[in-house]
């Protein structure tokens, strides 16, 4: 009698969501019903089947729903959202496949098992998040405002844990009227010190503070002149120093394509790399007590010495490897261009850049080229124009210039690009991303010490997505095409806690859906197990499950026929068979992370550790793949 083979099948994202789907329940269920036909075909041939599935888009959407409703019902942690999606997707797979089996008269029951997967708390992934979840964020969004606000809030609560901090985001950088309206609401709620980071919209915040006789803080530049009796101080970006550092990198042939993150300095032009400082109190100096001034000096010293850390809540990463750029010796007379989407006459962001450019001219004797008020669609063309004109260094002033700089930089390797407040880098593109939250930490502390009501306010210019406006730190990774996406830790699976139940159910004739979305990550704690915020790769978790239950075959289904080398190139070719002992068959390092790399890694792991065969194949040809007629097959 022929032995029944157990096959573990990892359903790819296309089994639930097609590329152009909106993500409705009806769409996903229809896709599951289509996938169920191939699985039913396999069951009719007598195979024992255990299913697992991905949940990246679904868990991201679940987190979004929790965030949207957080003021009505408490949001759940990420691992609990993972459990929710396991249940939801498990239901769809059970219902869709059971309907198909019943229609064919196949006497089998489908069950879904909520599955926990053990991970190692010391896994390096917890310090280096890489797994994308949730929506994409476009380059026009500036969630660093959250860093700035979090620093303000942290500083205020450092001094007064009971301080109340009001926050609002305008969705408009250039409307003093909106700034004034929101500031008036905060003042009406009791705030007696306000900070804005809203460009010219912030002028309205200062106007409201002046009208109501309270203090306000300026941003980026010393804004005391806007209202000398109202603007107590400002956090200032030492753009003069930052631009000079950029020129020196080129002059000394020490240009590095990376993201620089300088923090606080004791005063303008102070020692070290810091480029954020507090402006003087000017005519309001007598309103600030000696005790408060000494406390500010102490806090500044402690931040510089790293005794106090003001962490980034919004942190962006990239796969680009930084490195020093080999180049020809720099000319004595550099050609430098300063470009921005701001106005040089705005009294803040743009004006400080223009002033810094003029200082470079006086220090080095250069004549800079200037371009202001560049429309967002024209950024790339502007960079390309100056690079084509032979400029040695292009200083792009503004967050939105980063992605176009990387794109243009590939075509002009001899031109150096420095993006001020950018978050991208490449071989000839560097970003300077000041840790402004260290400056706003000091302002928050000052606000708490000066407030009489115990309530202070903050107004930001951009409209921040609720998905990232939460109390936990998020890391974002550049995804290409001007987009970022939240990434979370993706630790390796250590063990499937429910593996015995999965095997017993499969042996009893059930079709089992388990380990969905990579499983719910848990760590061992005193008294049992506890969930942790992470998302495990579903292919790696599926492979671990396949080994633990003693499966004969492990199959990963995707939207292509198998593993292709030189994919989408003229030399593209399908790899039909990989044997572990065969040298040079597959170089995993050449495969994209998040694409075929983890799938190949999971297949190799399975056959290297006792598994008989692993397969990567198209969802549409499941039976052929299991029977060796299609796909890429891995053997020991």
- Tens digit of each residue's pLDDT (9 = 90 or more) over 583-627: 555 555 455 444 677 889 999 999 999 999 999 998 889 999 999
Q: What is the pLDDT of residue 54?
A: 85
Bridge partners for 617 per DSSP: 557
Q: Which residues contact 289 (CB under 8 A, 6 or more apart)?
A: none
585 class by beta-carbon count within 10 Å (0-12 exposed, 13-18 middle, 19+ buried): middle
pLDDT for res 415: 97
The predicted pLDDT at position 278 comes to 97
Burial of 44-75, coded b for 16+ CB within 10 Å and e otherwise, reads: eeebbbbbbbbbbbbbbbbbbebbeeeeeeeb
Please indicate, yes or no, whether residues 123 and 154 belong to a single structural domain of this protein: no
User: Are 288 and 157 contained in the same domain?
Assistant: yes
pLDDT at 25: 87
Query: How far is it, in rounded angstroms, from Cα 82 to Cα 520?
Result: 6
Co-location of 150 and 232 in the same domain: yes
CATH code: domain of residue 195 = 3.40.50.2300
Q: Do 179 and 297 fall within a single domain?
A: yes
Looking at residue 332, its pLDDT comes to 62
Q: Which two tokens stand for residue 336?
A: 């430098």
Predicted confidence at residue 616, as pLDDT, reads 94
**CB of 294 closer than 8 Å to CB of 239:** no
- Give the tokens for residue 206: 């200062």
Contact 157, 440 (CB under 8 A): no
Predicted pLDDT at 561: 87
| The pLDDT value given to residue 468 | 47
Q: Residue 620: its pLDDT value, please?
A: 86
Residue 164 exposure: Cα atoms within 13 Å on the Cβ side? 11
Structural domain contains residue 118: yes
pTM: 0.65
Phi (first) and psi of residue 76, to 5 degrees:
-100, 155
253 phi and psi, to 5 degrees?
55, 45
Which distant-in-sequence residues (6+ apart) come within 8 Å of 414 by Cβ? 327, 328, 392, 428
What was the pLDDT predicted at 469?
47
* Residues 27 and 51 placed together within one structural domain of the fold: yes
| Residue 143 near residue 464 (C-beta atoms within 8 A) | yes
C-alpha pair distances (Å), 357 with each of 338, 423, 503: 7, 22, 69
Strands (E) located in 489-601: 493-496, 511-514, 520-525, 528-531, 553-558, 563-565, 573-575, 577-579
pLDDT at 403: 87
Q: Do the domain assignments include residue 503?
A: yes
Residue 467: per-residue pLDDT: 44
Judge if 506 and 375 occupy the same domain: no
Pinpoint the alpha helices (H) of 108-175: 144-159
Query: What is residue 1's predicted lDDT score, i.e. its pLDDT?
Result: 45
Q: Is 321 exposed, middle or buried (0-12, 13-18, 19+ CB in 10 A)?
A: exposed
Q: Look at residues 631, 592, 588 and name the one whose alpha carbon lies nearest to residue 608.
A: 588
Q: Residue 231's domain spans which residues?
A: 138-238+275-312+435-464
Same domain for 279 and 149, yes or no, is yes
Residue 421 sits in the same domain as residue 294: no
Query: Which CATH number goes with the domain that contains 529?
Result: 3.40.1160.10
Give the contacts of 25 (CB within 8 A, at least 6 positions apart).
Answer: none
Strand partners, 289: none
Please identify every stretch of the chain with a pLDDT value under 70, giving residue numbers as ranges.
1-2, 13-15, 19, 134-143, 313-332, 463-474, 476-484, 583-595
Are 191 and 283 members of one domain?
Answer: yes
Return the SS3 of 258. coil
408, 388 in Cβ contact below 8 A?
no
**Ramachandran angles phi, psi of 448, nearest 5°:** -65, -35
**Domains identified in the chain, total number:** 3
Position 360 in a domain:
yes
Query: Rounded to whole angstroms, how far apart are CA atoms 257 and 424?
Result: 9
Is 381 within a domain?
A: yes
The residue to which tokens 């760590």 are assigned: 523
Listed residue (425, 421, 450, 457) closest to 436, CA to CA? 421
Q: Is 339 helix (H, G, I), strand (E, B) or coil?
A: strand
Are both 97 and 200 inside the same structural domain? no
The verdict on 558 and 605 lying in the same domain is yes
Copy the structure tokens of residue 324: 């020093």
* E strand spans, 231-306: 231-237, 259-260, 276-278
Residues 504 and 420 grouped into a single domain: no
């Amino acid at each position: 009698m022929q032995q029944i083979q157990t096959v573990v099948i990892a359903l790819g994202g296309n089994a639930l969501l097609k590329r152009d789907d909106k993500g409705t329940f009806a769409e996903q269920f229809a896709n599951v019903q289509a996938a169920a036909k191939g699985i039913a075909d396999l069951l009719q041939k007598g195979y024992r089947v255990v299913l697992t599935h991905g949940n990246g888009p679904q868990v991201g959407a679940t987190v979004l729903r929790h965030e949207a409703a957080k003021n009505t019902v408490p949001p759940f942690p990420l691992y609990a959202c993972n459990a929710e999606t396991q249940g939801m997707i498990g239901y769809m797979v059970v219902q869709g496949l059971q309907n198909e089996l019943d229609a064919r008269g196949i006497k089998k029951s489908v069950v879904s098992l909520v599955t926990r997967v053990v991970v190692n708390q010391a896994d390096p992934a917890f310090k280096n998040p890489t797994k994308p979840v949730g929506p994409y964020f476009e380059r026009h969004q500036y969630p660093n405002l959250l860093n700035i606000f979090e620093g303000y809030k942290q500083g205020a609560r450092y001094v007064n844990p009971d301080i109340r901090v009001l926050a609002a985001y305008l969705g408009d950088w250039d409307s003093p009227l909106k700034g004034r309206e929101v500031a008036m609401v905060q003042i009406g709620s009791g705030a007696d010190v306000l900070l804005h980071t809203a460009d010219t919209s912030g002028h309205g915040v200062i106007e409201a503070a002046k009208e109501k006789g309270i203090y306000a803080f300026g941003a980026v530049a010393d804004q005391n002149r806007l209202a000398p009796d109202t603007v107590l101080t400002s956090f200032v970006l030492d753009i003069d120093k930052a631009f000079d550092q950029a020129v020196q990198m080129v002059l000394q042939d020490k240009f590095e394509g990376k993201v620089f993150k300088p923090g606080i300095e004791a005063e303008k032009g102070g020692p070290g790399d810091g480029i954020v400082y507090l402006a003087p109190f000017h005519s309001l100096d007598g309103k600030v007590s000696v005790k408060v001034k000494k406390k500010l000096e102490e806090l500044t010293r402690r931040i510089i010495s790293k005794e106090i850390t003001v962490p980034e809540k919004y942190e962006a990463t990239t796969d680009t490897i930084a490195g020093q750029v080999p180049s020809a010796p720099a000319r004595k007379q550099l050609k430098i261009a300063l470009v921005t989407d701001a106005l040089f006459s705005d009294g803040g962001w743009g004006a400080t850049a223009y002033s810094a450019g003029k200082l470079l001219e006086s220090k080095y004797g250069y004549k800079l080229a200037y371009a202001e008020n560049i429309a967002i669609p024209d950024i790339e063309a502007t960079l390309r124009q100056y690079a084509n004109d032979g400029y040695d260094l292009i200083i792009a002033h503004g967050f939105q210039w980063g992605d176009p700089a990387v794109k243009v930089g590939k075509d002009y390797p001899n031109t150096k690009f420095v993006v001020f407040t950018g978050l991208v880098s490449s071989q000839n593109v560097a970003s300077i991303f000041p840790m402004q939250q260290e400056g706003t930490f000091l302002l928050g502390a000052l606000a708490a010490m000066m407030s009489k009501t115990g309530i202070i306010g903050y107004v930001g210019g951009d409209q921040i997505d609720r998905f990232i406006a939460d109390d936990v730190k998020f890391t974002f990774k550049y995804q290409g095409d001007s987009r970022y996406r939240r990434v979370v830790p993706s630790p390796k699976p250590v063990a499937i806690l429910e593996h015995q139940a999965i095997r017993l159910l499969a042996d009893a004739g059930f079709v089992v859906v388990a380990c969905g979305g990579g499983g719910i990550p848990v760590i061992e704690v005193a008294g049992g197990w506890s969930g942790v915020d992470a998302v495990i790769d579903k292919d790696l978790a599926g492979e671990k499950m396949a080994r633990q239950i003693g499966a004969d075959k492990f199959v990963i289904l995707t939207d292509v026929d198998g593993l292709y080398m030189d994919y989408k190139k003229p030399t593209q070719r399908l790899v039909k068979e990989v044997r572990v002992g065969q040298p040079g068959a597959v170089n995993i390092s050449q495969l994209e992370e998040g694409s075929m790399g983890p799938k190949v890694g999971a297949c190799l792991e399975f056959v290297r550790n006792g598994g008989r065969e692993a397969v990567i194949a198209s969802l549409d040809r499941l039976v052929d793949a299991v029977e060796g007629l299609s796909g890429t097959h891995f053997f020991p």
